[in-house]
Every structure is written in structure tokens, then in C-alpha cells.
Amino acid sequence: MKIGHTGITWGIPGDTEQAYRDTAELGYMSFETFAFTIIDWNAKPGGYKALVERYGIPTSAAYCFKEWIDPAKAAADLDAARREADAAKAVGASAFVVQGGSRPDGGLSDDQLARLGEALNAIGQYCTGIGLNLALHPHTGTAIETHRDIEEIMRLTDPALVGFAPDTGQIAKGGSDIVEVLTTYLPRISHVHLKDWNGHTDRDGDLSGYVNYEPIGSGILPMPRILEILAGSDRDPWAAGIGWLVAGQALGPIGRIIRTADQIALNQNDVSLSKRLPVPASSDELALLAMTFNNMLERLEAAFAAQQRFVADASHELRTPLTAMRGNVDVLLRQLRAGREIPPADLQESLEDVHRESDRMGRLIKDLLTLARTDASGLSTRAMMAPVSLETVAQEAFRTGQALARGQELSLDIRTSPVVIGDADRLVQVVIFLLENASRHPPEGGRKSLKSVPPPHAAAKAICKRPRVSRFRSPPPHASFAPSFLPISI
């Protein structure tokens, strides 16, 4: 037997979302609501399923009440019930709980009971066809209230089409022996409303039979015997408790942990590794288990993020030296294929460019691997700081930029040759990135100029005396920015 809670405690229709949230937080394993509530919520953004996904427990049953035998309403009620059954099935409900309609003075006649039985068989046949269990719910103040009502309607309905959803308090208050009813119709029980009763039958001011009920275990009903009977059912019924039950409180946290872990493992509902298991407030072994899993998820999330960063950095930073090497090789191949003689000086220059770029690529690969290891271990990393000539930086970047120029004119203008403290490879890489971006956004005339000029006086004062690069994060591989958005003057 599985323990859930019905939303009727919060009113009709009441605050459905508050009811769903409270039911989940209190540890119950499922929720029951009115069938019309599901349809109403389906008209909202995300529909009723948004509640199911948000709070992580299923809706096991939908409650339906109709005037099944009123000639003026019977056909419309049957159509409406079919629509409500479809809505309940669509959100994962397993039970469609129905009551018998209004109760006339003196109860239903034999003819009315026969017509009610036919109507229940009809909606039961429809529910069976869509994989939903129809379950009749006796209730004080309704057509099915007394022992005679229950006995007759169960005789008039097909057990294969119409199940039973007893309400322990309502049946006892209606004058029946609850143990006898449960025992007699146990094979047909698929859903139960569990509540206790204080023994009073007065109905002053009670239009729907909701008074004189008590939290489970504090009334006069033999709850241990009731639970023992239900536990023996072959149909494993859901019990929607309208009162506090220890089993729901104890099993609920385990269910929430299992559901959240499944969502993370299967990436359900876009749940990522950033999701954490709910930690019960009990401070016991269950809470320790949840915290241990959360620590593991934190490490997995960090490792996965480091892997993604490594792939992004590698694809971006290795692309430039590979392109430069390919450019030099392509030039040499074109000359050879055209039968032109390559001057030894040009051949040496191109091979030196390829050699230099391959060396730089090797250093970049080593740096990226070091960076990945430091990310995984949670350590910070620094650039390799040393005195660097900006003239050398400009010259190396210029030669690589020529291979990336795509037929555009590129000139080099060295007006000063300062020495700075920095990481040579990183500085060359930054300048090459700017040249590559300029190739995507060429200026008018297609001419580009790489200049090394003294900074303005004010800028010189702002230069840090002890420069340090802690981490350079490459943009996405295909990112491109117009020159006016580059806040760097070279």
C-alpha cells in the first residue's frame, strides 16, 4: 500500500499549488485532486503537468462527481466524465474516483440504482479502455451512503469495469461496519480514503458529510485492523489519507531522493548536475546519505565543467597556429604545383614559420593540459611571466597574420620596442586573435596595419607595475566582434 494525500483538505477547489507543495514537503508519495482541477490547470502555461514536475510526486487519482441518473444531465455528465478521465490519464493518474450523485430523501429507488449501475458500467468501460481504474466512492450525503446502497450498487456493477474506493470514515458514519465492507469488497479496492471518525452522526450545518472526522489513530475506528486488511489487497491500492500517517512521513524523504536522483541520471525535465538531492531535516543516516550524494554531485559537476572548458579552450587556441601552418604549407604547395621555383630564402622563412607555430602549439597544448589539471584539482594557475619584447610579439603575430590575411593587405609599423613583463605566447595569441577578427571585419580598402606605438601619457601612468594574468578565457570558437567593440589599442 502506498500513502498519498488528497487536496480537499485545502478546500474546493482551494489553492491547488499550495496543496501539492505541502503534500510533497510533508513526505507523502502522491497527490489526489478533483478532475475538473486538472482541466482548469491545463488552460494555464505549462498545464497541470507543471505541478507534477515541479513538486516531484505523482497525481495518483482524480475525483469526479456527476448527476449520473438525472435525465436532463446524464448524457452531458457522461461526456464530461470521459473528458475528465482523459485528462487524469494524461497526467499519470491510475485511479478515477467517482461518487454516485446527489441523494434524494429516502435514498435511491431500485430503478434509480439500476440506472446508476448502468451509468457506472458505461464510464467504467471507457476508463478500462484508456488504462484507468474506475473506483466508486461511497460518501455520506450522496446516492451511495448506507450499507444497503453499497451492497446493491456493487451487485449491479461489473467488477471488471467498476472498482471500489472506500472512505473509512464516511462508510462508518453511514452506518456500515467498515471492517466487514473492506473484507467483503477487498478484491475490488484500488483506492482508499483513510480517515478516522469520532462516532458522532450529527449533521447540523454539514451539507456534505465532512464533520466529526479525526486524525488517523485518534478516533474510534480500528485503524490497525483496517491497514492490515488493505495490506492484503492484490491490487496494491493507493491510500489518500485525510490525516497524518507515520508511513507517509517515513517513506516520503526516501521517495523524493530516489525521484531526484533518477531525474539527474536521466536528465529528465532538463535537470542538470547542478541539481542537488533534498536533505531531510532529520539529521539522521538518511540526511547523511543525501549530503554524501550531494558532495559527489558537486565533484561530478566540477569535473564536467572543467571538461567543457578544456574542449572550448583547445578548439579556440589551437585553431590559430594550425591555420597559420596550413597557410604556409598551402603557399608552398601552390608554387610547387605551378612549377615555379621557390627561392631558398622564402622556403627557409616559411619552414621557420611552420616550426615556430608548431613549437607554440606544443606549448599551448601543454598549458591547456596543465590548466585542465588545475581546474580538476581546484587549484589556480598563473601565466608564465617573464620580460617580453613587444617588437618580437608584433613581428611573430604579423607573420602569422599574413597567413590568415585572406588576400587582404597587412602592414607592420614598429615605432617603439618596449619590454614588458608578461607571457610571450599568450601576448602573441591575443594579438593574433585581434588580427583574425580584423580579417572578418576588414576596414575600408581592405588594408590593415599592426602598429607598436608608445602609449599616451595617461595610459602609461595606469600601467600596473607588477602585471599578472590569472586566467584567460577564450571566447566561443565561432565568436566574432566588430573592431569598434574591441577596447584594445595596438
In a domain, 102, yes or no: yes
Q: Strand 196-197 vs strand 191-194: parallel, antiparallel, or unpaired?
A: unpaired
Give yes or no: residues 159 and 265 share one domain: yes
C-alpha closest to that of 174 among 143, 153, 205: 143
357 vs 432: CA distance, rounded Å: 12
Give yes or no: residues 340 and 220 share one domain: no
C-alpha closest to that of 252 among 62, 94, 56, 63: 56
Give yes or no: residues 221 and 336 share one domain: no
Give yes or no: residues 253 and 323 share one domain: no
Give yes or no: residues 236 and 382 share one domain: no
The one-letter code for the residue type at 111 is: D
Torsion from C-alpha of 122, 124, 129, 133, nearest 10 degrees: 170
Lowest mean per-residue pLDDT among 105-114, 115-124, 285-294: 285-294
Give yes or no: residues 267 and 322 share one domain: no
pLDDT tens per residue across span 147-179: 999 999 999 999 999 999 999 999 999 999 999
Lowest mean per-residue pLDDT among 372-376, 390-394, 468-472: 468-472
pLDDT tens per residue across span 93-114: 999 999 999 999 889 999 999 9
Report the domain count for the chain: 2
Give yes or no: residues 232 and 113 share one domain: yes
Q: 438-465: b or e for each residue (b if 16 or more CB lie within 10 Å)?
A: bbeebeeeeebebebeeeeeeeeeeeee
Q: State which residues form the domain around 197.
A: 2-271
User: What's 460's domain CATH number?
Assistant: 3.30.565
The angle formed by the CA atoms of residues 413, 418 and 424, to the nearest 5 degrees, is: 90
In a domain, 256, yes or no: yes
User: What's 37's domain CATH number?
Assistant: 3.20.20.150
> Is the pLDDT reported for residue 465 higher than 50?
no
pLDDT tens per residue across span 300-325: 888 787 777 777 767 767 777 777 78
Burial class (CB in 10 A: 0-12, 13-18, 19+), 485: exposed
In a domain, 290, yes or no: no
In a domain, 112, yes or no: yes
The pLDDT of residue 458 is 43
In a domain, 260, yes or no: yes
pLDDT tens per residue across span 249-264: 444 566 667 767 777 7
In a domain, 302, yes or no: no
Residue finishing a domain among 241, 271, 301: 271
Give yes or no: residues 356 and 219 share one domain: no
The pLDDT of residue 490 is 29
Residue 197's H or E segment, with its range, is strand 196-197
Give yes or no: residues 262 and 323 share one domain: no
